[in-house]
Structure 1
Amino acid sequence: MRIGKASNSSSSRSKLFFLCVSLLAAFLILDLLWASSSNWAPFPASNVLFFPDRILPLPKATKEEKSNKKGERILSATFADLAAPLLNWEKMATSPVPRLDGAAIQINDLLFVFAGYGTIDHVHSHVDIYNFTANSWGGTFDMPKEMAHSHLGMVTDGRYIYVVTGQYGPQCRGPTARNFVLDTKTKQWQDLPPLPVPRYAPATQLWRGRLHVMGGSKENRHTPGLEHWSIAVKDGKALETEWRTEIPIPRGGPHRACVVFDDRLYVLGGQEGDFMAKPGSPIFKCSRRNEVVYDDVYMLDDNMTWKVLPPMPKPDSHIEFAWAIVNRSLVIVGGTTDKHPNTKKMTLVGEIFQFQFDTLTWKVLGKLPYRVKTTLVGFWNGWLYFTSGQRDKGPDDPSPRKVIGEMWRTKLNLL
């Protein structure tokens, strides 16, 4: 009898011991999992959002946002959203077709809108024109049959529009090295000497009498290119038969803003890597690869050396035609940023950024009606316009969904 009692008592103590050890182990494992997962959570428990190398406050919903009586976007605390004031947006006439990865050039009160995807399987091969004075679309005309349909480099001298390289066809087809120039007064096209090798979405600008083409993605659509070429041009004609090699860009890749101001050349944002054609696919079906979006800003000075300037408020890509120069500052509309840390999906940008050339400082000007990439931007008579691109899935989902042709405007009062 005593032996049985001792045995039962010992068994009970053993069970209690193992239960305590199991509970402690479970607690430690849960604590470890929570600690590791919190580094990737889209919404930290505190009132700040964590970004690489910086901490930013979460945007607080205003009374107007909460009520949403005027139809403004209710901005949730998702990974990419920065605190920004509301802007009053007015919807204008919609573009004749929706466009993704199209191109646009403004000359006076006209916005020339080129090419782009309608869907992943259909690309446009014409130009539409928006008249800011009349606030209407019109004057559609065709592009050359050999001209690229997306990922173009493009710039104007005020009359002639220089069109450089880009992707030919839908899905993730190959690039072309063919270049063209459009006389916007006669609507006539002419050839330019081809690039040494084709590129996707290179940074392109006119600077000191030369057409400069930099970076972009190489022929496989994914590998960043560092090459920099230029050719002398005047009045829509090339003055040389071959492109000249220039100083390479410090960081390669496509989808950047490239501007000239006060005789200095600036390259802003962009990314390394992009979608590629799936191996063996007869339609060159797009297959996603890793992209790294960055906030780098570079300036080419009188000595033809690149200088590093203060970075953008956050990494931003797909902004090659998403900008306008307003009152000695650069205004950038939308784009894409780092992947969502939890879902790993592409994250769109819903803010407008301003870069002051005189002080080399950045400011977040305000919110867009929704997050959107590859916007086509113009500025006229105090109004900032944007059209086209691919918008988000909704206020609480910053990933891309619908290709749009909508035109919006807001009044900007920048000192």
Structure 2
Amino acid sequence: MLALAVIAVLLAGWTTGTPLDVPRTEVAAAPLGPEIVVVGGFLANGGNSRRVDAYAPATDSWRRLPDIPVAVDHAAAASFRGRLVVVGGYGADRRPLRTAFLFDGDRWRRLPPPPSPRAAAAAAAVKGGTIYVVGGRDGGGLAREMLVLDLGTMRWSRRPGPVPREHLAAAALGGRVYVLGGRRAGYGTNLAIAQAYDPRTGRWQRLPPLPSPRGGTGAAGIAGRVVSIGGEERAGTIGSVYALDVRTRRWERLEDLPTPRHGLGVVAHSGRVWALAGGPKPGLTVSGSVEALALPAGG
């Protein structure tokens, strides 16, 4: 009876976890085995961080992992079969970085540099061990090419990218890469664009747009849906949460995020979608919030 009661509570809405020890925003995050890893980001003093922390949903606890070799914010992260890859971001000089690092659960190692710098991008990993880095800035402006890393050979390639934008979100589901929202410059230029990339055909497909524009957002694929969480706009941070059913191609509104944030990590893990860290107000603000929403299987 106790187990059933707990499940009922989880399905009722958002739950709250133990906050991140060192609050920050513009983080990168991805699942890694039984944990969710949060990498880098801005600190409250405006500096960026090398800090890496891992959250265990099963025990609602955090532990410190080895620091990433370079202090970074606005990086992109994705994981596949026990390997976490962090690409680009902004360094201390506020220029996009041409870096990639792999964490295997014990230590970081530097990967071959990607073909071009990238910051304020998003990343997703599909089955087969390929990581796609989409959008962001490449040093010359909004990036038009997608960067592709084959984890088997550790070789990079370039492919046509989605509609150019930064501060966008990406998620993998059913062998495709879904790219949501983003902006062209400041948060007054938010977009509602939604696209999907099929690696089998090498083509991008337009999807029904998000019900509302959002930049500085995150996304995760879970239970047949791609869930869009967080962002910032002129009116403040965005609390509305939407899910795209990839079978029906229809958006549905879910329960609002209890602590609206931008620059957060959004990760699917343990049957729930998690929102970690991020800024509770537009601009440089930080949070250690951990909130999760359970989703039943899609129709």
Select the residue among 79, 93, 99 that pairs with 1:156. Answer: 79
Partners in 2 of 1:300 and 1:121 — Cα distance? 35
Whether the 8 Å contact between 1:148 and 1:165 is mirrored in structure 2 is no
Q: Aligned partners of 2:257, 2:283: CA distance in 1, in Å?
A: 15
Contact 2:135 2:168 in 1 (8 A): no
Give the match for residue 114 of structure 2.
195
Corresponding residue to 2:260 among 368, 371, 374:
371
Shift of 1:250: 4.0
Q: 1:181 maps to which residue? A: 102
Task: For residues 283-315 of structure 1, give each alpha carbon's deviation from its aligned partner in whole angstroms, at most 9, with x where no partner exists.
Answer: xxxxxxx75110111122332122111001111
1:126 equivalent in alignment to 2:51: yes
One-letter amino acid of the counterpart of residue 330, structure 1:
V
Query: Which residue of 1 is the match for residue 91 of structure 2?
Result: 168
Q: Which of 157, 173, 180 is the equivalent residue of 1:268?
A: 180
Q: Is the 8 A contact 2:89 2:97 kept in 1?
A: yes
Name the CA distance, whole Å, in 2 between partners of 1:317 and 1:400.
Answer: 12
Match of 1:336 among 232, 243, 246: 232
Q: Which has the higher contact order (CA 8 A, sep 6+)?
A: 2
1:209 Cα deviation (Å)? 4.2
Give 1:306's match in structure 2, choosing from 204, 207, 210: 204
CA contact (8 A) 1:348 1:400 kept: no
Are 2:131 and 1:211 equivalent residues in the alignment?
yes
Deviation at 1:122, TM superposition (A): 1.9
The amino acid of 2:144's aligned partner reads L
What SS does the corresponding residue of 2:255 show, helix, strand or coil?
A: strand
CA-CA distance at 1:196 after TM superposition: 2.5
Partner Cα distance (2:124, 2:15) in 1: 31
Q: 1:323 to 1:305 in 2, by over 3 A?
A: closer
Return the TM-score normalized by structure 2. Answer: 0.86
Specify the structure having the higher radius of gyration (Cα). 1
- Residue 244 in structure 1 maps to residue 244 in structure 2: no
What SS does the corresponding residue of 1:294 show, helix, strand or coil? coil
Residues 401 and 370 (structure 1 numbering): CA distance in 2 closer, same or farther, change over 3 Å?
A: farther
Q: For structure 2, which runs of at least 5 residues remain unmatched after alignment?
A: 1-11
Deviation at 1:257, TM superposition (A): 1.6
2:242 is paired with a residue whose SS is: strand
Count, aligned residues: 285
Residue by residue over 1:60-106, the C-alpha shift from the partner in whole angstroms, topping out at 9 and shown as x without a partner, is xxxxxxxxxxxxxxxxxxxxxxxxxxx75443211110111011111
User: Retained in 2: the 8 A contact 1:231–1:244?
Assistant: yes
* Cα distance in 2, alignment partners of residues 262 and 408 from structure 1: 25
1:405 corresponds to: 288
Structure 2 partner of 1:34: none
More helix per residue? 1
Read off the aligned partner of 2:158 and give its amino acid letter: T
Secondary structure of 1:265's match?
Answer: strand
RMSD of aligned alpha carbons? 2.3
Structure 1 residues 251 and 388 mapped into 2: Cα distance closer, same or farther (>3 Å)? same
